A = this chain, B = another copy of it.
Amino acid sequence: MFAPSRRISLTENAGEFAISKTMVGNDLSLLDHLFQEEGLGSVAVERGREGGATFRPRLSPERRQEWLKEVAHILETPDRVLPGGLLYYSDLLFSPFWAQRLGFALASSFADSPIDVVMTTEMKGIPLGMFTAHALGVPLAVCRFGNRPSDGSAVVVHYPSASGDVRTLFMGVRMLPKASRVLLVDDVMRGGSTLAGMLQVAKEFEAQVSGIGVFLVAETPRVKRVGYHTALLRFSISTDGIPCVEVQAPPSGV
C-alpha cells in the first residue's frame, strides 16, 4: 500500500506477521494473480538473501481505456471552457482519487524506462507528478516560477514563453541530484514552452531525460517546442465553445 516499485524483503514480512517465508510466497502469488486480473500490474519476487517482492504498476490497455474514458467524459462539458481556449481541470488533478489513477497511468507508460526522479513544475503539475513518482517508487523534484528562502539555493534558467517574453524557472540544487535519469511530467502542454524550459533545467543538472509525460495535450498549436512526448488525453475546443477530449494511445509496447 505504501511502497509500489520498492522492494520489500520476504524475511522482513515473514517476521512482522510471524509466518513462514513459504506462506508469504504463496500469498504473494495470490496478490500477483489478483493484480494481473485487475489489470493493475504484477508482483515480482526475487529469491535469495538479497531478494524481495516488488509491486510493479502496469495498467492493462482495457483498464487504462476505462479510466481515461471516464476522465475525458468529465472534461467534456461546456462549462469547463475558460477564457483563452483553456479547459478547467484543477478539480480532477486535486482529487486524490483521479490524480492517483492518472499518475498510475503515466507511471505504467514509463515502467520500462530507467528513472531516478520525476520532475514537474508548480503547481498543477505537483499532484500528477507526485502520484507518478509514488507509483514508480522515486522522489519528485519541482521546478518553481519563483524561489523562496525555505527552498534553499537554486539554479535558474530562462526560456521563451509562447507569448514571446522570457520566463524563469528555478530548481533547488538539493532537489535534483546531478546526472539523474529524469521523467518530465506536466499537467498540460499547449506549445510546449514550459516543457522546453524543463529540458533546459535538466541540461543544467546534467540529467538524462527518460521521457516526457503529460495529462492533457492541446490540439493547437500543432507544432510543439518539444519532440517526443506521451499524453494521456488530447483536447480541442470547437469554435462554438464545445470541448472535445480524446484518449491517446499508450506508447507502443505498453
Q: Which residues of A contact B (CB under 8 A)?
A: 1-3, 6, 16-17, 34, 37-38, 40, 82-84, 86, 88, 90-91, 94-97, 99-101, 104, 122-124, 126-127, 130-131, 133-134, 137, 139-142, 144, 149-152, 172, 174-175, 188
Select one of B1, B6, B131, B150 contacting A1, CB under 8 A. B1
For the complex formed, measure the closest distance between the CB of A65 and the CB atoms of chain B, giving whole angstroms.
Answer: 17
Integer count of this chain's copies in the complex: 2
A175–B90 CB distance below 8 A: yes
The 4 closest A-B pairs by CB, nearest first: A96-B134, A94-B140, A95-B139, A122-B123
Cα–Cα distance between A223 and B15 once the two chains are bound (Å): 46
Cα–Cα distance between A34 and B18 once the two chains are bound (Å): 12
Cα–Cα distance between A97 and B142 once the two chains are bound (Å): 16
| Complex A-B: 12 CB contacts under 8 Å | A2-B101, A3-B97, A17-B37, A84-B149, A90-B152, A90-B172, A94-B175, A95-B139, A96-B137, A123-B144, A126-B127, A127-B130
